[in-house]
Amino acid sequence: MPYIKLNNIQHSYKEKTVFQDLILGFQANQISCLLGDSGCGKTTLLRLIAGLEIPQAGEIIIGNKTVTQNHSILVPPHRRNTGFIFQDLALWPHFTVYKNIAFGLEARKEKHIKDTVFEALHTFGLQEFAEKYPHQLSGGQKQLVALARSMVLKPEILLMDEPLSGLDVKRKRKIIDLIKNLKQSRFSGNDLTIIYVTHDHREAFAIADNIVVLADGKVQEAGSVEQIKNAKNEYVKYFLEY
Amino acid sequence: MGRKLIRHPLYVLTMTAFVFFVVTPLIYTLAKTFFVEDSFINNVRLLDKELFFLLAKSIILASVIALFSTITGTGLALLLYKTNIRFRSFFKIALLLPLFIPPYILAVAWKDAFFVFFNDTSLISSYFGVILVLTTVFTPLSMLITGSALSNIDSQLEDACLLISDYRSLIFKIILPLIRPAIITSFVLVFLFSISEFSVPAFLGVNVFTTEIFTQFSAFYNHSLAMLQSTLLILICILLLFSEKRYIADAPFLSMGSKGAGNSCYDMKKGKILGLLFLPGWFSLSVLVPFTTLFVQSFADGTTRFIQAFELLVPAFVTSIGLAFAGAVLIVLTGFSAAYYQSHSRQGKVINFLLLIMFAIPSTVYGISLIQFYNHPVFRFIYSSYAILLIGYTGKFSFIAAKLTGNAIKQIPNSFDEAAQIAGISSSMRKRKILIPLIMQSLFAAFVISFIFSLGELGTSIMLYPPGTEMMPVKVFTIMANAPQSLVSAMTMIVLSITLLIITAFYFMMKPFTKKYRYALHKT
């Protein structure tokens, strides 16, 4: 039984149809990769799950709760317990690293904020950057801040939109290992479903438990890494060649 | 989106207030002219041949000023934004000075200059004088618009041209066509400002359409004719804006901290000396000569005139500065609300265009609209108080504040707000902690510009100031007819000094402000 279910999703931007009756599910506590070319609807899918966009029709169910149904949001984004790593990371440039991580906790009026933030800084190896501003960090360090900022709120779902684009291979490797171990982090509470968007199949193979290949808003193939590697679908074969 | 806005009653309230208090008087005046005030046919008969001749002269005058300002401004922008000419950082700021000084100060200064150099002011008190003064006033605006467009050109486009052709082709075949929208925007805006300008022709004693409207309304009390003339000018402005609204309404020139990707600068070879002469030459013409002679003339009769001028202006200081401050606060609030509304609602474009219309309409004409609308028992509390002046300033300058803050909002990625939204941060907290700090520099700049413009605004003030109120520009203007030139110069010099003092004070206030929010301009 999938943890996140998308039933008959229809979505379009002005005249461009992105999804037409899309049916898709994501298993709990797994890393699922959405793989596909630019413009195939990967980011839109993440935004629909997060509640940042409303589909024209269809429903989205998280756990046992319907969060979106028939063009209306039943559960707003901040009540879905999701974390979102944006493609541009969206670190607030006027906040320090500490403040970027603490801001969400402050809004939720959590206790022991300072301790929690320092623990997150330690977990993600950012202790020495607490007072730095985002523009003073390297690309890899920014990714870690974005991860720490999301994880500190203990999300059940982590949505990641091409978070490693622009990083060199060494840093990619390091962060992929970190993402794979996120479930073991104290912040996840052993309950973390990750949906990871990428257009790089090597990245997907390295990180995913399951892969969904999307093209033109349609699921071309879905399955484990091995199943995708051996897929018969022409598009998937063509996509994996490069 | 519409549902979201209901959650922000402040924006809806501000915009509703803007439409009611600022825009309705204009619609009321137009409607009254066409449908109520006698019959339209009867009124049209009031427009005689001489009046149309005056209108034609005003249009030609405005076209010449727009042409000269755009050519000079584009030339200066090319030198300052596309070459590595020396002292360009200094000139980029110094040449903007006339834009932030009330235009009538330059008119008085140039009158002094002609008196000092030629012992005759008849040449400056003519169409030539209006062209000279207004070209020096509006060239910086043109420079700002085209300069902004130049710094946004992708350097790769220029490199691609230089691989196959020379610098001449680069300028005429690539750069100028690419900044054509900015050149058109500059021409149209300067034309609109010139045809709307009241203070300079009034100070130089030159009859143009705006001064004619003022005379008919204030001297001859011929309100029907003044309203009809106003309507004619409003229609010209609106028609022109409609034709070019695509370029002007979305003009990106009023923004802070936006720089084009990979802007290239070129080494001047043959034209180096010419360029080095042009920049200080224009600086002398637009800043040094007028202001130096104004200073000299202020003390022509010793310090007596200066003291007299000071005594005359003292009662106007507090009122003028207080009103400019209150006006700037209202303008920034309206501008921010409009910009926010525009970024969150389709109707925002309508508001943006309304702001543009109010900005472009001559201040005397707008003043008449406000008088016509508020001169009723119901609105007497507005008509007979400072409120009418504040409404006037808000209508005139909110466009600038809306553009500055709107362009700043556009530069902030949506993901900043969405990241906070997902983290559970409330909408009002997102505004206070994310949006406003990130656009704080632009809000502050909008406040400073609105304050300076409100302080120097003559057209609106002279039409609307309540009886018994003393205001600096009005005081200088009213005293000019009967006072010796040295007294007028001394008064103008004091107003100029106060304006420069305030600009300097704001500059130093802005420094720690900029430091505090400097991270806001960094892209992560």
pLDDT tens-digit map of B376-426: 899 988 998 999 999 999 999 998 898 888 888 888 888 999 999 998 888
- What is the nearest CA distance from A131 to chain B, expressed in angstroms? 13
Contact check, Cβ <8 Å, A133/B522: yes
Set of chain B residues whose Cβ sits within 8 Å of the Cβ of A92:
416, 419-420, 434
The CB-side HSE value for B352 (13 A sphere, CA atoms) comes to: 25
- Assess A138–B contact: CB distance below 8 Å, yes or no: no
**Within 10 Å of residue A205's Cβ, how many Cβ atoms?**
16
All domains in chain B, ordered by first residue: 1-32+316-471 (1.10.3720.10), 49-248+264-298 (1.10.3720.10)
**For residue range B51-92, what is the model confidence (pLDDT) as tens digits?**
889 999 999 999 999 999 999 999 999 999 888 888 888 898
pLDDT for B524 equals 47
- Assess A61–B contact: CB distance below 8 Å, yes or no: no
DSSP string, B478-515: HHHTTS-HHHHHHHHHHHHHHHHHHHHHHHHHHHHHHH
**For residue range A66-100, what is the model confidence (pLDDT) as tens digits?**
999 988 889 988 889 999 999 989 999 888 999 99
- Collect contacts of B341-349 with beta carbons under 8 A, ≥24 apart: B341/B5, B341/B11, B341/B15, B342/B402, B342/B406, B343/B406, B343/B409, B343/B410, B344/B1, B344/B4, B344/B5, B345/B1, B345/B2, B345/B5, B346/B1, B349/B249
pLDDT for A160 equals 95
Write the CB contacts of A207 (distance below 8 Å, at least 6 apart in sequence). Answer: A31, A33, A176, A179, A180, A196
- For residue A151, the chain B residue with the least C-alpha distance is B423
Write the CB contacts of B392 (distance below 8 Å, at least 6 apart in sequence). Answer: B363, B366, B367, B370, B457, B460, B461, B463, B464
Compare B365 and A29 and report the one with higher pLDDT: A29
Set of chain B residues whose Cβ sits within 8 Å of the Cβ of A88:
413, 415, 524
Please name the residues between 396 and 425 in chain B that touch chain A, using a CB distance below 8 Å.
413, 415-416, 418-425
- What is the nearest CA distance from A206 to chain B, expressed in angstroms? 27
Cα–Cα dist B10/A45, whole Å? 34
Contact check, Cβ <8 Å, B422/A134: no
Q: Is the dihedral of CA B466, B470, B473, B477 positive or negative?
A: positive
- What is the nearest CA distance from A50 to chain B, expressed in angstroms? 8
Write the CB contacts of B290 (distance below 8 Å, at least 6 apart in sequence). Answer: B106, B109, B110, B112, B113, B136
Examine the pLDDT at A221 and tell me if it is beyond 70.
Answer: yes
Of B413, B426, B522, the CB nearest to A90: B413
Cα–Cα dist B113/A229, whole Å? 84
Contact check, Cβ <8 Å, B433/A103: yes
Which ranges of B302-456 does DSSP label H, i.e. alpha helix?
A: 303-344, 348-360, 363-374, 380-383, 387-410, 414-422, 427-430, 436-456
Of B413, B429, B519, the CB nearest to A107: B429
pLDDT for B34 equals 72
- For residue B421, the chain A residue with the least C-alpha distance is A78
Reading chain B (524 residues) residue by residue, the pLDDT tens digits are: 344 545 567 778 888 899 999 999 988 888 877 776 565 666 667 677 888 899 999 999 999 999 999 999 999 999 998 888 888 888 988 998 888 888 888 898 898 889 888 888 889 999 999 999 999 999 998 998 898 888 878 777 787 777 777 778 888 888 888 888 889 888 988 998 899 888 899 889 999 988 988 888 888 877 777 878 888 888 888 888 777 666 665 655 555 554 444 566 777 766 677 877 889 999 999 999 988 988 888 887 778 888 888 888 988 888 999 999 999 999 999 999 988 888 877 777 788 888 888 887 888 888 888 998 999 899 988 998 999 999 999 999 998 898 888 888 888 888 999 999 998 888 888 988 999 988 888 898 889 889 988 998 888 898 898 888 888 888 888 887 778 888 888 888 898 888 889 888 888 887 776 666 665 555 44
Write the CB contacts of A109 (distance below 8 Å, at least 6 apart in sequence). Answer: none
Contact call for residues B471 and B276 (beta carbons, < 8 A): no
Q: Which amino acid is at B453?
A: F
- What is the nearest CA distance from B95 to chain A, expressed in angstroms? 32
Set of chain B residues whose Cβ sits within 8 Å of the Cβ of A50:
418, 422
- Assess B520–A contact: CB distance below 8 Å, yes or no: yes
pLDDT for A189 equals 63
- Neighbour-count burial of B377, counting CB atoms closer than 10 A to its CB (0-12 exposed, 13-18 middle, 19+ buried): exposed
pLDDT for A226 equals 92
- Assess A131–B contact: CB distance below 8 Å, yes or no: no
Set of chain A residues whose Cβ sits within 8 Å of the Cβ of B424:
78-79, 104, 107-108, 153
- What is the nearest CA distance from B337 to chain A, expressed in angstroms? 22
Contact call for residues A207 and A179 (beta carbons, < 8 A): yes
CA torsion angle B362 B28 B327 B427 (round to 10): -120
pLDDT for B3 equals 44
Six token digits for residue B169: 């082709």
**Within 10 Å of residue B55's Cβ, how many Cβ atoms?**
19
What phi and psi, each to the nearest 5 degrees, are found at residue A20?
A: -125, 105
Please state whether beta strands A210-215 and A31-36 pair in parallel, antiparallel, or not at all (unpaired). Answer: parallel
The separation between CA B493 and the C-alpha centre of its own chain, rounded to angstroms, equals 21
pLDDT for B1 equals 39
- Assess B274–A contact: CB distance below 8 Å, yes or no: no
CA torsion angle B32 B33 B34 B40 (round to 10): 130
- For residue B520, the chain A residue with the least C-alpha distance is A94
Set of chain A residues whose Cβ sits within 8 Å of the Cβ of B426:
107
Q: What is the DSSP letter of B465?
A: P
Contact check, Cβ <8 Å, B419/A90: yes
Contact check, Cβ <8 Å, A107/B437: no
Six token digits for residue B126: 């003519």
Contact call for residues B494 and B394 (beta carbons, < 8 A): no
State the best of B1, B422, B434, B443 to mutate against chain A, taking most chain A CBs within 10 Å. B422
Cα–Cα dist B116/B294, whole Å? 10
Contact check, Cβ <8 Å, A88/B424: no
Q: Whose CA is closest to B80, among B226, B283, B244? A: B283
Cα–Cα dist A101/B175, whole Å? 45
Share above pLDDT 70 across residues of chain A, in percent, rounded to a whole number: 98
What is the pTM (predicted TM-score) of this model? 0.81
Of B418, B437, B524, the CB nearest to A135: B524
pLDDT for B512 equals 73
